[in-house]
Amino acid sequence: MQPHNDRMQRGFTLTELVITMLIAGVVGAMALPSLSDLLVSSRIKQTATDMVATLSYARNEAINRNAPVNIIALGEWSAGWQVVTADTLLRQTKLTGELRVDGPAANTVTYNPDGRLATLATLRFGFSVPANTAVLTRCISATLMGQPVLQADGNRDGDCTNG
């Protein structure tokens, strides 16, 4: 049988607790910038994916309704966009403005009833964060046929078409 010792205590001392908290704080502070970039990168990817879905939706609606469907910027593309046919609002996406969205200068994309783009130029959108090169830029392009394609700027040179 072991002798009973009232002096034996279990738990942490205040010094051990303070050192543990200090180490956790230093590790957390080192991980915070990476976590911030990860969150912003996720927002860019989600916003670009939402635009691909919006383009596909507008194209399908133009074909199904046999009528032109417009995607219109809410002032500028960085504020968001809405899908409209005639005078009917079909869908709207609002953005906070923290992301930079570069789109057509006319601030309108129109799909004809055959599902093709009304303009004779290739459609391009760019999604980025100003002054943050740690986050990948995402790009969307669509040919005259109207099919959107999402790409990432893997080599970070501002051009999504070359890697």
Could you tell me which residue, 63 or 16, shows the higher pLDDT? 63
The strands making up 123-128's β-sheet, listed across from edge to edge, are 100-102, 123-128, 138-142, 148-152
Total residue count of the chain as it appears in this document: 163
pLDDT per residue as tens digits for the range 73-104? 999 999 999 999 988 999 999 998 789 999 99
Containing structural domain, residue 104: 14-162
Q: Which two tokens stand for residue 45?
A: 């990817």
On whether residue 4 sits in a domain, the answer given is no
Note whether 112 and 123 are within 8 A (CB): no
The span from the CA of 84 to the CA of 143, in Å, is 21
Rounded Cα–Cα distance for residues 38 and 6 (Å): 51
Burial status of residue 64 (CB atoms within 10 A of its CB: 0-12, 13-18, 19 or more): exposed
Assigned domain for 6 exists: no
Total of domains in the chain: 1
Residue 95, in any domain of the structure? yes
Asked whether 148 and 95 are in contact (CB, 8 A), the reply is no
CATH number at residue 152: 3.55.40.10
Whether residue 5 lies inside any domain: the answer is: no
Kindly state whether residue 21 falls inside one of the protein's structural domains: yes
Instruction: Judge whether 7 lies within some domain.
Output: no
Q: Does the residue 86 lie in any domain?
A: yes
pLDDT-derived band at 64 (thresholds 50, 70, 90) equals: very high
Q: Which residues pair with 72 in a beta bridge?
A: 82, 108
Question: Is residue 2 in some structural domain?
Answer: no
- Provide mean pLDDT across the span 138-142: 90
pTM attached to this predicted model: 0.77
Tell me the pLDDT tens digit for each residue of 3-61: 565 566 677 788 888 888 888 888 877 766 667 778 888 899 999 999 999 999 999 99
